[in-house]
Structure 1
Amino acid sequence: MQEPSPITSSLSVQEPLPLVTVVALCYNHAPFLAEALDSLLAQTYPNLEVILVDDASTDASRDILRKYAAAHPHWQAIFLPENIGNCRAFNQAFRQARGEFFIDFATDDVLLPERVARQVACFQHLPPDYGVVYTDAELIDEASAHVRYHYRRQAGGQLHPRPASGFVFAEVLRRYFISTPTMMMRRATLEQLGGYDETLAYEDFDFWVRAARDFRFYFLDEVTTRKRLHARAMSRRGYRPNDPFLASTIRVCRKAQVLCRTPAEQAALAVRLRWELRQAVRWGNYSEAWDLFQLLTETQTVQPLDWVLGQYAGLRKK
């Protein structure tokens, strides 16, 4: 099936504007909160439901959130008594939200003013089996200065890595290419999945795998979000010794193995497992490396280096 052409028109004036829920998740984002919340206030899209969720911050975040909630009483605020992690925190908001579309907004990032309007306009031109619209992002540092864009462009302007649209299940297994903060998700997609998997330490890889099995994704070639790079970001802990997220990655790979339907999808999963195996061995996560090697053997695509790394991990694991 031919994919829809890129969306360039604005919101349709003939259709009522759907409600968009922004779940603003905060954990110790005090230095960045004002800029993040001001970017919500700057949105040109008028039909927003904002739910602030503080996951038991220990800095000044709660005071800032209370100030904004008091100034904007149509916003909702949830102050969790203990830290429960992104997946459970998001689901608490999701269960009480009313939006047709959702943005999972980490409050160390920034939304550009047309972000919501442009993605809703895109969804209005897409069939209902499109569950996600995602875009390019500008990466910024702690002082909000430009670092680079998520996608690198070659001399001719082509994006690298090439973003995928349509049925992207094999692609999300094979490689990371989606800038998570740029996603707008259809409510029906989240409902079919039952929200995020609360047993996991992080949400995006699992969401991509489960959503992409039945829903199409669309890449809108615009910059809609400023994603902040800083030392406290979750991604900075990836693959380091005792990585808290690696066990979740293995769980998602097991789910993906069950969901694979074709040899091509199994081959895509093998690419992922091979990458994760190498990173786990590199950083000394030998027990996890052994588990990844076992999964890789089940794809029947083990290469000589895979076997060497697997045997080494087996000897070193606790």
Structure 2
Amino acid sequence: MNTPHPLASFDSPLPGYDVVIPCYNRAHVVADAVRSVLRQDPAPERVIVVDDGSTDASAAVIAGLANRYPRVSAILLPRNGGASHARNAGAASTRAPWLAFLDSDDVWLPGAARALLRAGETRDVDVVVGHFARVEPGEQPGGPECGWDGGDIRGALATGGVVGPSWSMVRRATVFGVGGFDPSFHNCNDWDFYVRAGATGARFARIDDTVALYRTVIGARLVADVEIGRGNAGRILSHPYCAAPAN
């Protein structure tokens, strides 16, 4: 697995970044996500963890993390509003020029932030996409995966949700330029977000580094809502950006 590695100390300084971690009923793993970000070099300016009205102990765990780590901020929403709403609530508290949206059941690998930021600055792009490794319960990580081959992003997004928030980083201006994530999507909200970003001219780049572990932990997952997902996919594919001919 091609994991990121720290670059030499004489590299030019990298821009700042914030990380938003939405959480719903992931009390047993959210601390792993937070600590994987805090261990990055360079460190994030802020890690904003948003509890989306969880019914387990997530709110208490997140509050404890905020009390322990100065860079961590907790937003505890009173009721469940969905991943888009939680991500938007977290993004509203950010200030850094780059944002990442790490899912609460995933983790970043060492060197992830540096690899993503460096590509964003050296290639002058707005969205940087890395690889991830899938981890099934009780098993070792699989090989590197990325749904996008690095070619035509419009054509790729017209086939499905090929970019994931846990293994990408986005300029803050791009996030707010498209109005963030659409709360009307129960699932497929990240796919919709990247489509709308592409439609506004956002520049995408892919790197070969594996930057995250995608963990299929115990708990309900939105991807299991097949009928709702089918309807949301249809909405996204009807977007003019997806319907336009590939370059």
Q: Please classify the TM superposition score into its range, dividing by the shorter chain length.
A: 0.7 to 0.9
Among 125, 134, 143, the residue aligned to 1:149: 143
Higher relative contact order (CA 8 A, sep 6+): 2
CA contact 1:19–1:49 (8 Å) conserved in 2:
no
- Structure 2 stretches of 5 or more lacking a match? none
Specify the structure having the higher radius of gyration (Cα).
1
| 1:208 maps to 2:205 | no
CA contact 1:12–1:121 (8 Å) conserved in 2:
no
Deviations 1:102-153 (A, max 9, x none): 11111111111211111111111012xx22111111111234x3242352xx
CA contact 1:136–1:179 (8 Å) conserved in 2:
no
Aligned counterparts of 1:84 and 1:210: Cα–Cα separation in 2: 21
Correspondence list, 1:45-84, <5 A? 45-84=42-81
- Structure 1 stretches of 5 or more lacking a match? 1-6, 152-159, 269-318
CA contact 2:6–2:114 (8 Å) conserved in 1:
no
Aligned residue number for residue 237 of structure 2 = 253
CA contact 2:32–2:107 (8 Å) conserved in 1:
yes
Correspondence list, 1:66-215, <5 A? 66-127=63-124, 130-143=125-138, 145-151=139-145, 163-165=149-151, 167-202=152-187, 203-213=189-199, 214-215=201-202
Aligned residue number for residue 277 of structure 1 = none
Aligned residue number for residue 271 of structure 1 = none
For residues 172 and 259 of structure 1, do their structure 2 counterparts lie closer, same or farther at Cα, with a shift above 3 Å needed? closer
CA contact 2:105–2:217 (8 Å) conserved in 1:
no
**Cα deviation, residue 84, structure 1:** 0.4
Identity score, percent: 26
Secondary structure of the corresponding residue to residue 211 of structure 2: strand
Aligned counterparts of 1:27 and 1:55: Cα–Cα separation in 2: 5
Deviations 1:178-205 (A, max 9, x none): 3442011111211210111122113211
Query: Between Structure 1 and Structure 2, how many residues are aligned?
Result: 242
CA contact 1:138–1:146 (8 Å) conserved in 2:
no
Aligned counterparts of 1:179 and 1:18: Cα–Cα separation in 2: 22
Among 208, 216, 226, the residue aligned to 1:221: 208
CA contact 2:185–2:232 (8 Å) conserved in 1:
yes
Secondary structure of the corresponding residue to residue 75 of structure 2: strand
CA contact 2:129–2:206 (8 Å) conserved in 1:
yes
CA contact 1:135–1:179 (8 Å) conserved in 2:
no
For residues 162 and 60 of structure 1, do their structure 2 counterparts lie closer, same or farther at Cα, with a shift above 3 Å needed? closer
Aligned residue number for residue 296 of structure 1 = none
**Cα deviation, residue 162, structure 1:** 6.1
CA contact 1:11–1:117 (8 Å) conserved in 2:
no
TM-score by structure 1 length?
A: 0.68
RMSD: 2.6
For residues 28 and 260 of structure 1, do their structure 2 counterparts lie closer, same or farther at Cα, with a shift above 3 Å needed? closer
